[in-house]
C-alpha cells in the first residue's frame, strides 16, 4: 500500500494485487463494502494520518477509484467541506472493476455502497461498552485514534544510529521522546509523542528524516504498552535532547 499526500484535503492510495492478496480480498469486493474492505480502508486512513497528517474525521469523503489493470487500483480520497460539493461522477467503478463482481439483484451503485459503508465504519471497530476502563466505545475509539495520530515508534539496530539521529534532529523536534531496549533482541525503540495534529504537521520533515536512521514501526496501544512494561528504559524522557549531547 503506497500513500501519497496530494494536498491538505486529498491523498492518493495505490493498492496492488499483493496488498489485496495479503488480506484475501478481491478487487471486486471493494465495491460491495465487505468487512475486509472496510478494514482495509480503516488501515489506509490510519496510515494516511500517521504518514501524511491527513485527518479525515468529521469530513465527508469523496473517493475516486481508478483501476490499474486487473488486480490493482488507485483510490483518490478527498475531504469535502461542503457535502453539496460531492460529485456524482464518482458513483460507479469502471466496468473493468465490476466485471467479476458477485451476482446481485440490481444493486445500488457499487461505489456508492462502498462510500456509505466506509464512511460509517472509518472510525474503526468498537468493543463493548465498559470494556476500556469504564469508557464508552466512542471515548475509547477517540483515545486510540489520538494516540495513532500523535505517536510514532522507530526501531534502531544500534545506539550509534540513535545518537546520530538525535544529533541531527533534536533541535527541530518539539514533542516528547523516550528510548527503550528490548533485551531479547537488542533492538532499540524510540517512542515519540506529539501534542496534537498541528505539531504532527510541523514535524513532518523531521519525522521523515528519522526514517533515514531507523525503521518506522506500526504504532498501536499494545505496542506502546509493551515497550513501557516489557522493555528496559534507556532514557525515559527527553531522549533525543539527551542523546544529542553525547
The tens digit of pLDDT for each residue in 3-50 reads: 888 777 888 888 888 888 888 887 767 766 678 888 888 888 888 888
Q: Is residue 8 part of a domain?
A: yes
Q: Is residue 238 part of a domain?
A: yes
Give the sheet arrangement for strand 232-235, strand by strand: 215-217, 151-156, 188-193, 176-181, 232-235
Task: Please name every residue paired with 64 in a beta bridge, in sequence order, or none if there are none.
Answer: 76
Q: What is the mean pLDDT of each run of 10 residues along the chain (246 residues)?
A: 82 84 77 75 84 78 72 79 47 39 40 44 39 58 73 93 94 93 95 86 84 84 86 94 92
| Overall number of domains in the chain | 2
Q: Which of 133, 170, 175 is nearest to 151 (CA)?
A: 175
Q: Is residue 137 part of a domain?
A: no
Final residue in a domain of this structure, among 66, 93, 123: 123
On the 0-12 / 13-18 / 19+ scale of CB atoms within 10 A, 147 is: middle
User: Do 180 and 216 have their domain in common?
Assistant: yes
Q: Is residue 166 part of a domain?
A: yes
User: Do 172 and 240 have their domain in common?
Assistant: yes
> What DSSP assignment string belongs to 25-57?
--GGGGGGT-HHHHHHHHHHHHHHHHHH----T
User: Do 151 and 111 have their domain in common?
Assistant: no
Final residue in a domain of this structure, among 76, 91, 123: 123
Q: Is residue 132 part of a domain?
A: no
For residues 112 and 91, the answer to whether their CB atoms sit within 8 Å is yes
User: Do 103 and 182 have their domain in common?
Assistant: no
Q: How far is CA 113 from its chain centroid?
A: 23
> Measured between alpha carbons, how far is 177 from 166 in angstroms, rounded to an integer?
10
User: Do 39 and 104 have their domain in common?
Assistant: yes
User: Do 108 and 166 have their domain in common?
Assistant: no
User: Do 63 and 113 have their domain in common?
Assistant: yes
Q: Residue 138: its pLDDT value, please?
A: 63
Q: Is residue 149 part of a domain?
A: yes
On the 0-12 / 13-18 / 19+ scale of CB atoms within 10 A, 133 is: exposed
Q: Which of 212, 185, 169 is nearest to 177 (CA)?
A: 169
Residue 88's domain comprises 2-123
CATH number at residue 172: 3.30.70.1950
Amino acid at each position: 500500500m503506497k500513500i501519497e499526500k496530494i494536498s491538505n484535503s486529498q491523498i492518493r492510495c495505490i493498492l496492488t494485487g499483493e496488498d489485496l492478496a495479503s488480506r484475501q480480498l478481491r478487487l471486486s469486493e471493494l465495491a460491495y463494502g465487505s468487512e475486509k474492505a472496510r478494514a482495509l480502508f480503516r488501515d489506509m486512513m490510519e496510515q494516511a494520518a500517521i504518514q501524511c497528517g491527513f485527518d479525515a474525521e468529521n469530513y465527508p469523503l469523496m473517493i475516486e477509484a481508478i483501476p490499474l489493470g486487473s488486480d490493482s487500483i488507485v483510490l483518490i480520497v478527498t475531504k469535502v467541506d461542503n457535502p453539496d460539493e460531492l460529485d456524482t461522477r464518482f458513483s460507479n467503478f469502471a466496468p473493468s472493476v465490476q466485471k467479476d463482481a458477485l451476482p446481485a439483484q440490481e444493486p445500488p451503485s457499487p461505489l456508492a455502497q462502498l462510500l456509505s459503508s466506509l464512511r460509517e465504519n472509518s472510525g474503526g471497530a468498537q468493543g463493548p461498552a465498559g470494556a476500556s476502563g469504564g469508557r464508552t466505545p466512542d471515548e475509547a475509539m477517540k483515545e486510540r485514534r489520538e494516540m495513532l495520530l500523535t505517536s510514532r515508534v522507530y526501531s534502531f539496530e544500534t545506539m550509534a544510529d540513535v545518537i546520530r539521529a538525535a544529533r541531527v534532529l533534536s533541535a527541530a523536534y518539539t514533542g516528547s521522546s523516550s528510548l527503550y531496549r528490548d533485551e531479547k533482541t537488542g533492538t532499540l525503540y524510540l517512542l515519540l509523542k506529539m501534542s496534537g495534529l498541528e505539531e504532527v504537521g510541523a514535524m513532518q520533515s523531521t519525522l521523515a528524516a528519522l526514517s533515514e536512521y531507523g525503521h518506522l514501526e506500526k504504532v498501536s496501544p499494545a505496542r506502546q504498552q509493551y515497550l513501557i512494561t516489557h522493555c528496559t528504559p534507556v532514557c525515559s524522557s527527553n531522549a533525543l535532547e539527551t542523546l544529542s549531547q553525547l
